[in-house]
Chains A and B, each alone.
Chain A
């Protein structure tokens, strides 16, 4: 099955700096890569996703890049704010898959 690895497990940045979280996947057939944000004690929520037919997608301060050849994708958050502090999970799925394979999560702390 798919194996998704995520790094780093924890990340601290100063407010206003950028944060980058990286994930690798093992199944070359995977074609959908969402990112979820989970605030303390709350449910995971989708913040951005990318499909394998594009290499980059942006939404305001958030961007995701995908390298299909290397089988890795990354989340980029620019101009970080304290409210960006949360656990971020990457995930991958393949066509016809019945579930998302999640990475182990990155706890991001934005220091004011």
Chain B
């Protein structure tokens, strides 16, 4: 157990819908990172938050947004869903803002858009 909790584990929804994925980082970690992993693909960085503030953006679509709350949990919002958004979404946390140390991954949320 990495200490990073993601909910839900599985999500099936229809095209055009909106979903929210939740991540609770390890105790003491201030940074949360979101990654997307499509079938048989690598890990694509989406966005990073540190102590409630957005710190870095990767290849995140405009239909996607995220935030980190005062209790440090983070949510990734995906809207106007398309079939191609089906993927495994991971969050990771680390103790420092510069991810120059181990990143601990959650178990992921498997999103299926039908």
Q: Which residues of A contact B (CB under 8 A)?
A: 31-32, 34, 36, 42-46, 49, 89, 93, 95-105
Contact between A44 and B107 (Cβ–Cβ < 8 Å)?
A: no
In the complex, which of the residues B43, B48, B56, B102 contacts A89, with contact meaning CB atoms closer than 8 Å? B43
14 A-B pairs (CB sep. < 8 Å): A31-B100, A42-B107, A43-B107, A44-B90, A46-B102, A93-B100, A95-B98, A96-B98, A98-B99, A99-B45, A99-B48, A101-B45, A102-B42, A102-B44
Interface of A is mostly: loop
Contact between B107 and A98 (Cβ–Cβ < 8 Å)?
A: no
- How far apart are the CA atoms of A98 and B96 in the complex, in Å? 9
Residues of B20-65 at the interface with A, using a CB-CB cut-off of 8 Å, are 33, 41-45, 48, 50, 55-56, 58
Q: Which residues of B contact A (CB under 8 A)?
A: 2, 33, 41-45, 48, 50, 55-56, 58, 90, 97-103, 105-108
- How far apart are the CA atoms of A43 and B93 in the complex, in Å? 13
A-B pairs under 8 A by CB, number: 60
Interface of B is mostly: loop
Contact between A98 and B100 (Cβ–Cβ < 8 Å)?
A: no
Contact between B100 and A95 (Cβ–Cβ < 8 Å)?
A: yes
**Which A residues touch B105, using CB under 8 A?**
36, 43-45
- How far apart are the CA atoms of A7 and B45 in the complex, in Å? 20
Closest Cβ neighbor of B48 among chain A residues? A98
- How far apart are the CA atoms of A93 and B97 in the complex, in Å? 12
**Which B residues touch A89, using CB under 8 A?**
42-43
**Which A residues touch B98, using CB under 8 A?**
93, 95-98
- How far apart are the CA atoms of A43 and B107 in the complex, in Å? 5
Say whether, besides A49-B102, A93-B100, A99 and B90 are in contact (CB < 8 Å).
no
Contact between B107 and A100 (Cβ–Cβ < 8 Å)?
A: no
Say whether, besides A32-B100, A43-B2, A104 and B41 are in contact (CB < 8 Å).
yes
